[in-house]
């Protein structure tokens, strides 16, 4: 269905809804007047205006039917068309979450956790991105990068001045 057809379809549906609403309202009014007239006719001992019911009930039925049809179609359309984007949206919202979890799991193996504040940093990071403390202590003797709280170099065994 192209956009023009779709718009015409929408317009038709709105017209059906408007006519349906008018018929329903008219029918209800006729029926109420009819009932009131019937009650009055018993007191006044005359024939009730039956024709009000002949107008009232069919217009309630037709108006109601039109409204049901127009809304039912939009409900069906909603279920058929809207549920797909909803699922797509859900997927788009879930996917980054999953990938970020997957990423953090992946980087979790290779990350350096700051000894001072506990923030996970990139494994190659020299300083904590959160508190700025040094994450590695470079051995002054051999140049080996050691953990920030290491007392001795893990390569040459020299004392590290922390
Ligand atoms: Zn830190
Ligand atoms: Zn060393």
Going from the Cα of 141 to the center of ligand 2, the distance in angstroms, rounded, reads 5
pTM for the full predicted model: 0.42
Distance of CA 71 to the CA centre of its chain: 22
Going from the Cα of 134 to the center of ligand 1, the distance in angstroms, rounded, reads 8
* Ligand located closest to 159 CA: 2
**Looking at beta carbons, which pairs linking 73-81 to residues 24 or more positions away fall under 8 Å?**
73/13, 74/13
* Ligand located closest to 116 CA: 1
Going from the Cα of 85 to the center of ligand 2, the distance in angstroms, rounded, reads 59
User: Going residue by residue through the chain (162 aa), what tens digit of pLDDT does each one get?
Assistant: 567 888 888 888 888 899 999 999 999 999 999 999 998 988 888 888 888 889 999 999 999 998 888 887 666 666 666 555 655 666 666 666 666 656 655 544 578 888 789 888 888 888 899 999 888 888 989 988 888 788 999 999 999 876
Burial class (CB in 10 A: 0-12, 13-18, 19+), 66: buried
């Amino acid at each position: 269905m192209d956009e023009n057809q779709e718009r015409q379809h929408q317009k038709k549906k709105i017209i059906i809804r408007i006519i349906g609403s008018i018929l329903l309202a008219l029918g209800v009014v006729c029926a109420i007047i009819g009932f009131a007239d019937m009650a009055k006719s018993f007191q006044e001992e005359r024939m009730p205006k039956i024709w009000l019911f002949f107008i009232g009930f069919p217009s309630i039925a037709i108006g109601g039917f039109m409204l049901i049809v127009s809304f039912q179609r939009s409900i069906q359309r909603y279920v058929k068309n809207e549920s797909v984007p909803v699922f797509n949206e859900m997927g788009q919202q879930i996917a980054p979450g999953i990938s970020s979890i997957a990423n953090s799991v992946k980087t979790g193996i290779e990350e350096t956790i700051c000894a001072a504040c506990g923030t996970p940093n990139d494994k190659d990071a020299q300083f904590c991105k959160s508190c700025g403390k040094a994450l590695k202590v470079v051995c002054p003797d051999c140049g080996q990068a050691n953990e920030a709280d290491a007392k001795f170099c893990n390569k040459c065994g020299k004392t590290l001045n922390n």
